[in-house]
Amino acid sequence: MCDSKTLNEKFSIPGLIEFVENAQGALVARVETPQGTMEVARQGAQLLFWTPKDQAPVVWMSPLAQFKRGKSLRGGSPVCWPWFGPHPENNSLPGHGFARNLEWRVLETSRLKDAARITMIFEPGEEQQKDWPHQAELTLSITMGEALEMVLTTRNQGETAFTITQALHTYFHVGDIARVRVEGLEGKEYIDKVAEEACHLQKGPVTIDSEVDRIYLDCPGDLVIVDDALKRRIHIARQGSNSAVVWNPWAEKGAAFGDMGDDGYRNMLCVETTNAAKDTVTLNPGESFTQVSRYMVESF
């Protein structure tokens, strides 16, 4: 078990990256550059916050989120892996896989030109292999400069092929959910998880006025969150992803979570870079696959 002192001795970069225990005792990396600040938890390699210079936070974290070993955090950017949503065969297994609930190891940190990067690594152990009997290595590199980029790579280190679904399940901070739209999904087919998985075609930009839980298909292009309240656009560039999820639980379900608050849904919107539904990834022994999500903010 690493503590902050050990991690700082190996991986801190003075004035750039420091490892600390937060107010709840969770071990996190705090990163600060002239372009902004971010925080990454060792649990799940989860991006918790990202605030570019002179901007409101871009990544939303519930003020009621609780750091508990083996439990997911409400907000940030959880890593859903090696399956997205419920397990396809066993509903008793944790939704969205186990990678987001367990501790990762810090692999390296680096100072780049006008940016900082932290890379973490996760390898399923014996306990996880009871439910998912494969050998794999998962790395996540998060680079913060003027933009924020997350690079998630899966490597098959075993002797048999396996298939995964996955997501970078990012919660974006918005000024007012009633004044937000998502562009780039016009005309795309989606599976409506709220309406018994019926399939529909998206007409115009996506707007939110009730619970929304949709998997958009055959949509490899970039997306944009237009936030009229905060007068900004969040550009989402994706690679290795041919599907996307848009999610907001709305009032009743959000309040029932217990860690979102009664009004948390008003200031968050998940637009997720995914391999979900029919957008699956099969890796043969020795193969790797990389999914990338890159965020940039533009004021208007």
pLDDT tens, position by position, 245-281? 999 999 999 999 999 999 999 999 999 999 999 999 9
CATH label, 4-299, candidates 3.20.20.210, 2.60.40.10, 3.60.21.10, 2.70.98.10: 2.70.98.10
Please state, in angstroms and rounded to a whole number, the distance separating the CA atoms of residues 167 and 77: 9
Which pLDDT score is estimated for 1?
59
Residues known to be catalytic: 169, 272
Q: What's the chain's Rg over C-alpha atoms? A: 18
* Nearest one of 278, 279, 298, 281 to 289, comparing CA atoms: 281
Query: Domain boundaries in the chain?
Result: 4-299
Q: Is the pTM of this model over 0.75?
A: yes
Which pLDDT score is estimated for 88?
85
Judge whether 217 and 245 are in contact, CB under 8 Å. no
Please state, in angstroms and rounded to a whole number, the distance separating the CA atoms of residues 293 and 148: 8
Judge whether 57 and 50 are in contact, CB under 8 Å. yes
Amino acid letter, residue 3:
D
Mean pLDDT across 77-85? 97
CA angle 21, 25, 26 (to 5 degrees): 70
Which pLDDT score is estimated for 109?
98
Q: DSSP state, 263?
A: S
